Amino acid sequence: MMNEQKKRTKDEKTRFSPVPTNRIWTIPNVISFLRIASIVLIAWLIWFSQPDHPDYLIWSLIVLSLSAASDGLDGYIARRFNQVTLLGQLLDPIADRMLIILTGIALCLANVIPWWMMLLIVARDATMLVLVLVLSDHHYGPLPVHFVGKTGTFMLMCAIPVLIISATLRSLNLYYAVHCFGLALYWWGIGLYWVAGVIYLMQGIRLLKADKVAKKAGIPLSREVGERA
């Protein structure tokens, strides 16, 4: 009886924690591809909403809601049906970055947020890209995810629908309050985004220093660090 329970527990762990494969055309990956396509559509709808098509903003919110729902769905299906893939693990963070950057640019073009706010986000991501390339050149994997980075990304994603909603209320008295709330969320998101960036930079510098010391001493180092967000 005890052996059967242990076997069942082991099977369940294996079932819900599958090893990533090199498959491409899985249901979760197709959902991720559709999510990426929906992000492009969301940005397009926001961009072309002003001033002739304000109804496009409503459609962008609808598509954004469906895209957000698919974000959790693909991960659940991948884990539930042993369809976790290396490509899928790449597509998810790519989709998150695309959502933040493309919708941010579209909101700037629609005069919802100032360009300098978007430039702060792009500058941070560009800095992180350089860090990843430098670490990769030293044969290190991506840095582990930090909760500050997750929180910053979450706040930016929460700010996006609030700012879109505020754009639909421009002719109403409620516009100013909603818009200020959206900008506040965006500000906090950018701040945490950069705090996480500084944390990642410090981690990267420590790794590079340790690598330099280890090379001088002839000590091999483990290169698999984790994932960064």
Q: Based on the fold, state whether residues 4 and 100 are members of the same structural domain.
A: yes
For the record, the structure tokens of 224 come out as 């698999």
Q: Based on the fold, state whether residues 219 and 118 are members of the same structural domain.
A: yes
According to the model, what pLDDT value does residue 53 have?
Answer: 80
Domain count, the chain: 2
**pLDDT tens for each residue of 182-198:** 999 999 999 999 999 99
Tell me what the mean pLDDT of segment 115-139 comes to.
Answer: 92
In this predicted structure, the answer to whether residue 108 has a pLDDT above a threshold of 90 is: yes
Q: Are 71 and 63 in contact (CB under 8 A)?
A: no
Tell me what the mean pLDDT of segment 125-147 comes to.
Answer: 88
CA pair distance 50, 46, nearest whole angstrom? 8
According to the model, what pLDDT value does residue 220 have?
Answer: 62
Q: Based on the fold, state whether residues 174 and 217 are members of the same structural domain.
A: yes
For the record, the structure tokens of 185 come out as 């969320």
Q: Based on the fold, state whether residues 180 and 127 are members of the same structural domain.
A: yes
**Is pTM beyond 0.75 here?**
yes
The three-state secondary structure class of 146 is coil
Could you say which of 61, 90, 111 is where a domain stops? 111
Q: Based on the fold, state whether residues 192 and 176 are members of the same structural domain.
A: yes
According to the model, what pLDDT value does residue 5 have?
Answer: 52
Q: Based on the fold, state whether residues 119 and 221 are members of the same structural domain.
A: yes
Q: Note the helical H segments in 110-174.
A: 115-137, 147-168
Residues of the domain holding 95: 1-111
- Phi first, then psi, for residue 168 (nearest 5°) are -80, -10
For the record, the structure tokens of 210 come out as 């340790």
Core vs surface per residue 120-135: b (16+ CB within 10 A) or e: bbeebeeebeebbeeb
**pLDDT tens for each residue of 137-171:** 888 877 888 899 999 999 999 999 999 999 999 88
